Every structure is written in C-alpha cells, then in structure tokens.
Structure 1
C-alpha cells in the first residue's frame, strides 16, 4: 500500500442523499507531530506535506471530473503597480456562476436549515474529512469551492453536522490554524469572513487556497502593540496581527479573544491566516516563519452580497481575499485601467471608523495587559 493510500480509511456515513443512499467519505487523520506552527525560513517548500498531496490530488480529480463550474484558464494573477504589491485577477465567472447568496442582516444571524448550507452539497463536492487524532470524530469537512479563485480553493467546514451559523468559535479557529500548520506550501492561505463582511453562506466555514505569489498579508511588517497583538506597519487598511511562539492552541485562544471582542463591539471582521516572518517580538525565533493571523474590523454590509452599480468603481468585494492582497475583479474590462489608488479607495469604503478602531485597540490593551 502506498504512503498516500495509507492515509485514508473509510469513514462512517456523513450524509444521506435525496434517495436515502449513504455516502462514505475518506478520512485524513493527523496528530500534533504533523502540525508545523513554525518552520525555518530556509525550508524546501517543494517537499509538499502529505496533507498538501492529498488536498491537491483530490482537487485535481474534482476539476477533471467537472465538479467546478469553470476552470481557471484566463484568471492568472498579475501584479498591480504601486507601493503595496497587490495582485489582481479577472474572474467574472466567480460572480456569474455563484450560488445565490443569503440575505444577511445580523452579525450573529441564526442558522436556517431551509437556506442553502453545506449539508446540501452533492457527495462529489466533499473531498475528505479531517480528523485530529485525540479529538476523534468531529465531521470537519474539506469541500471543493465550485467557483474557485485559485488553485486548490476549498471550503473548510468545522463540525458540519452541527449546522453552526457563520460565527467563529475557538474550536473552529483552532481547526483553521491547524489546517494551515498541516501545509508545507508557502502560499497556502486561509481566509475567513464574518456575517456582515461578505460571508454569503450562513454556515460556519473558511476558505483555503494556494497562492503562487507572496501576498501583502504574508510579508507585511509589524510594530509592537500589546503582548501577542501587533500593529500592522504600512498597511493600507486598519487591522491588527496576532502571532505567538506557543503553538496552535495558544494562537487560537488569543484569536478567539480578539474575535469575541469584535462581536461584542458589533464589528464584523475578516481574517487571514498564513505563514509570515516575525518582525518585532523577541519571544519568537527570527530565523523561523510563524503562523500569523491578521484581523480586519469592518463596517457592516447588510443584505444580499452584490456589486455596486457603478462604472467608475472596481467590480470587487472587499473581503478577506482582497484585504490579504489579492484583488478579484468580477467583471471583464476593468483590469487594464485599474490603479492602486482605486483599490485602496474601495477598501476604505467599509473600513471601520477611526474612533471605533481606537476603542477596539484600547479594549485589546486591557485584555492582554
């Protein structure tokens, strides 16, 4: 039996289809030894982890089998001239071929089983289950994104059978961080959008995908702020970064405190989890790359997720992907004329007010003093 085949075994039934047939799913089991919360800056990313090999081979098969609504031809990332190094992609099919978004009116809107949710996806969209060895069966699912942005674009759905709303919990943040720690690819990135900040499905999930270029979120510098919370340095929008040398569970605990504060202050937010070189804190080995989480508090956006009806504004949503540094244009013809100034202006439309951001930071000072 090959090493890759040995990673799989048949899991118990996860869901029933409309005919009552039970679909068995493959299970990838991992343990703490596989989690690389940090790695030397000189590591060889060409040596993909077992998790990477599994995800990429499963995603490739789904693409060959026609599971996605389109392929990625013609969606190559190009660099946008300017100070910040934005990457730009024209991908109109992501908008035209998407599932109908939900009408979002509340930051903690209850889960509605009658609305689209990930228990309804067909069996061929579910790639495998992820299971941490000591926690046992949780039904943490890896589901292909049928309207992908980049290679390997999947949805991570923690505890799928629990039918949780799109409200980040400590358990779900730990799962998200662990998935990043399973990858050995420098461009692997996890993205999260809360309700009222461009999450269009009210069922707890994250996006994960591979970028072949460094994004701004992966390389930005920081300044000391308070404990594990760092100020972003020379970033075009307001946000903070969390980084620690104490492992995935500790990072999840810190992240949950920060996200809980956003919920308490009724500020939606977007998060980015990726690897990045430590910049300022002396408690971290500067010769290693560590998992970092960027958090961007935002103004609420209510209703259905839709583009602005304007020829002068870029056809884009300012969600986690864009805040990380990858601008996805959802209509043709704007890319050649797009400027960095236009992107930043669009980012700032829903940027949290300065007084609210400073109040958020004052609360963080108290929390992490």
Structure 2
C-alpha cells in the first residue's frame, strides 16, 4: 500500500461513524477479519468482560484470559541494549498467512519493507504489529524512522479508536525485533484530553496521574518529522541512560485545551520511563505495559478482574513510574532547553 501526506487525516470527530473509515482502515480491517475467519490466530478474540473502574481516572478493565494463557512465551530480555539475536524467534519467522500488507510512503520509496502483520495473540479488535524495516533485523529500540512511521500510520486512519504503542526492552517487549502494536479501542480514554503541564520546549509532563510521564503533540505546522525528532530525542536519552520505557500514540485534544470539543486536532505521544519489567512479572493482575500505562488494563484472571479497583491500579502504576520519572525529570527539562529544541 502506498501513501503520501495528502492521505493524512489531521482533524477527526471524537465519535466517528464507521463511514469515516479511510482506505487504510478498510483494508486493515478487511484483511484482519479474513485472518480471523481463516483461523490464523492462536485464539478467537474473546473479551469476556469489560468495565470502567469507578474513580477519577476512568481506567478501562477488560478480561482476556486467552491472551494470558495462550500467547507465545516472551523472550528473556535482560538489558535495554540487548542486540538482535537471529537464533531467537523474530518476525522474519512468521507464517505467510500472518502478513497483511507492506506499506510505503510512495511508489518511489526504496526503503527496506515496512510491513503490517496480525498479532496472533490479540488483545483488542484489529490488533496488528507494525514492523518498520522488517528485514533489517533491528533490535526493539525506537528510532527516528520508526517513530515517524508509527505517527504517519495513525494519521492514515479516520478512526479516533486506532492506537499505536511501543514496549521497549525491559519494558514488557516480548520479542527483541523492532515492532509497534496497533489496535482499535472504541472507548474514550482520559489521556486523550487530560490536562498536562509544560516542561520545556516541545515536551510536556503528565503529573496528575498515577504513572507520570512525558507528552508531545503534533506541532501547529503539522510536521510529523518535528514530532518524531522530539520523541526520539527523549527515547535516545532514556536508551543511553539504560532506562526502560514505553510509548503510546493516540488522537487527542491539543495539550493546552481542557475540553476537546467535538473534534480532535492533534496526535499525542506519551513516553514513560519505568522500572524494568522483570521486577513486575506475575506480581499483578495485569502486566503494566503500553496499554496499561495508558489506562487500558488487560486482566489475566476472572477473580482479579472482579476484585480490581482504581486504588489497586493506581498503586501499581505509581510503583512502576513515580521513581524513574522523578530521577530523570530535571535532566529531561534541560535536554529540551539546550539540545532538542
């Protein structure tokens, strides 16, 4: 599939009808649905229960026991600079039927192929993996080109429900091969328009939330490259400092707007510095990865689902992110004052 900047949707209604789907949405959903009907997934998506937890953060909890029980065993990852290992499972090993399509900026694009494949252990409708430069065999480290591609793919959609995220090494990445998660979540989420504070330059901070983190938005000039450079400046700093991190990309209101109104006019990118995921494995009702930091909780078992409260979730997210955020906050402020503006 070829695309260009003319295909980008910069403004989108918060509650968009199915008729607003673009050619990208239609192709993605059609081929994903076909993969479901052909039995290419490890299980048929079955979200047994879904509810918004009472409280100020409106966390969305979904019971998906199949993902907990039937997903591929994660690779053992011990450091954020772990190199790609061709002897371990990687996305060049997936079956042909798992491929959806290749995506290029235009017909003259000579870049190494960017592909979309199904996630065979889906957590939501349309759960897909975006594989930037698949056959370059890069480790799971967010670079400038991949961040730009992730934002551009989001802009190809006419649906506010499409979300894109990234689990870094030691941040619940299960495969050390560059990839982003993408799925449709038809639910209004707090972080689409929550108030944030300005930190410095293009960087804002999410502080009135259990998982404090850093926030960027598509600039007024709508330059995806400028946004990607800002995000990459932060992820490179965290990578070099050996700090695990997660990213989440969503449609939303501009960061200074308290009320989104009827139309979303920007893309928000959240970046969380966090404790290594090895310290959290099997300790909680959910794995605090990209979805959970955003407030979308994939719950492992039915007893944990029904006993979950906002207080329990907030305690987990705070434990994961409060200390790492506090350690890097001033360094990030100076980073964007002096180096990344």
* Rg larger in structure: 1
Quote the Cα distance in structure 2 between the aligned partners of 1:197 and 1:361. 23
What runs of 5+ residues in structure 1 fail to find an aligned partner?
1-27, 309-313
| TM-score normalised by the chain length of structure 2 | 0.91
How far the C-alpha of 1:108 sits from its partner, in A, is 1.4
Q: Report the CA distance shift for 1:34/1:190 in structure 2 as closer, same or farther (over 3 A).
A: same
Quote the Cα distance in structure 2 between the aligned partners of 1:120 and 1:205. 14
Quote the Cα distance in structure 2 between the aligned partners of 1:76 and 1:180. 27
| 1:157 equivalent in alignment to 2:127 | no
Tell me which moved more, 219-228 or 239-248: 219-228
What runs of 5+ residues in structure 2 fail to find an aligned partner?
none
Quote the Cα distance in structure 2 between the aligned partners of 1:327 and 1:367. 36
Alignment match, 1:331: 301
Query: What is the CA deviation profile of residues 214-269 of structure 1, one whole-angstrom value per residue up to 9, with x for unaligned ones?
Result: 12322212222222211225222110110122321211111111111111222111
| 1:280 equivalent in alignment to 2:280 | no
How far the C-alpha of 1:346 sits from its partner, in A, is 1.2
Alignment match, 1:24: none
Q: Is the 8 A contact 2:112 2:136 kept in 1?
A: no
- Superposition map of 1:120-139 within 5 A: 120-133=93-106, 134-139=108-113
Alignment match, 1:299: 275
| 1:366 equivalent in alignment to 2:329 | no
| 1:147 equivalent in alignment to 2:121 | yes
Query: What is the CA deviation profile of residues 315-351 of structure 1, one whole-angstrom value per residue up to 9, with x for unaligned ones?
Result: 2111110011101111222111111010111112322
Query: What is the CA deviation profile of residues 162-186 of structure 1, one whole-angstrom value per residue up to 9, with x for unaligned ones?
Result: 1110011101111111110101101
Q: Find the residue that maps to 2:68 and give its secondary structure.
A: helix
How far the C-alpha of 1:76 sits from its partner, in A, is 4.3
Quote the Cα distance in structure 1 between the aligned partners of 2:125 and 2:246. 21
Query: What is the CA deviation profile of residues 345-367 of structure 1, one whole-angstrom value per residue up to 9, with x for unaligned ones?
Result: 11123224323333333333333
Quote the Cα distance in structure 1 between the aligned partners of 2:171 and 2:17. 33
Alignment match, 1:92: 65
Query: What is the CA deviation profile of residues 178-214 of structure 1, one whole-angstrom value per residue up to 9, with x for unaligned ones?
Result: 1101011011100101101110100000000000101
Q: State the Cα RMSD in Å.
A: 2.1
Alignment match, 2:286: 316
Q: 2:243 aligns with which of 267, 280, 298?
A: 267
| TM-score normalised by the chain length of structure 1 | 0.85
Q: Is the 8 A contact 1:297 1:357 kept in 2?
A: no
Q: Is the 8 A contact 1:142 1:157 kept in 2?
A: yes
Q: Is the 8 A contact 1:226 1:368 kept in 2?
A: no
Tell me which moved more, 356-365 or 133-142: 356-365
Q: Is the 8 A contact 1:139 1:159 kept in 2?
A: yes
Query: How many residues get paired?
Result: 332
